[in-house]
Structure 1
């Protein structure tokens, strides 16, 4: 069971390895909450490209490699979200060795933290999570909360 914790991400460095749909969703929400996001991926979809072009994140256009260890070492959080499980597993290992919280997008058992469904209506922020077990329930609860708060 995870404890819901709200963290001030303003100016905190977050490294996201990968730039697919999951990485793009994480990058978008993290930048909205003030994190300094760096994405490492040789290619990216429109969302990551647009965020980079708008100056909301830094996109390093290459596969994760040794030269990225410095960025990893300075990170407050890391998200391993490539399509290659072995790469994600390796990133998790590197983070655990350095005591850096990491999220493995493909394996909840390797996550130090999870992303909730976020419901916002300033100044209220609500996070909804079911521990990775029932995404449908989380979506329904979040939708009900959004409707209730409208």
Structure 2
């Protein structure tokens, strides 16, 4: 794996699904300045509707548009998530939350501290371990500030 950082500021990103996992992804992407579009019949209470473009409907293959470079398949239906991957264009990167092996990329848990960013990942194997590690490292950094 080759670590990279993407500049997502004002870049159109598509999330299909509006549940708890989508809410977590949206929060991080908004923090990076992404221009978020969410397609879902419902939105989780943690998704700030005023911060996204919400298309309130069920997913259809025609929702995949070329302007989306990153797509997150965040539904609670594994076969639909895989259909989204299949519908994507070859130039689009897709994160399938229900199947890390089929995902084109993984999210990293990020720490921003004094002008640096530190990324932590288990390559999709354990978001819980990633989160716990991020919290412990952030606490250590804060405790050891000069």
1:67, distance to aligned residue in structure 2 (A): 4.2
Higher helix share: 1
1:124, distance to aligned residue in structure 2 (A): 1.8
Unpaired segments of 5 or more residues in structure 2? none
Aligned to 2:45: 46
Structure with greater contact order relative to length (CA < 8 Å, sep ≥ 6): 1
User: If the length of structure 1 is used for normalisation, what is the TM-score?
Assistant: 0.87
Return closer, same or farther for 1:68/1:134 CA change in 2, 3 Å cut-off. closer
Aligned to 1:126: 118
CA–CA separation in structure 2 for the residues paired with 1:61 and 1:18: 10
Say whether residues 1:64 and 2:59 are aligned partners. Answer: yes
Aligned to 2:78: 85
User: If the length of structure 2 is used for normalisation, what is the TM-score?
Assistant: 0.89
1:132, distance to aligned residue in structure 2 (A): 2.2
Say whether residues 1:105 and 2:97 are aligned partners. Answer: yes
Q: Is the 8 A contact 2:61 2:87 kept in 1?
A: no
1:20, distance to aligned residue in structure 2 (A): 0.7
Secondary structure in 1 aligned to 2:131?
Answer: helix
Unpaired segments of 5 or more residues in structure 1? none
CA–CA separation in structure 2 for the residues paired with 1:136 and 1:75: 28
- 4+ residue stretches of structure 1 with deviation over 3 A? 134-137
CA RMSD of aligned residues (A): 1.5
Q: Is the 8 A contact 2:20 2:44 kept in 1?
A: yes
Aligned to 1:26: 25
CA–CA separation in structure 2 for the residues paired with 1:34 and 1:87: 27
Aligned to 2:108: 116
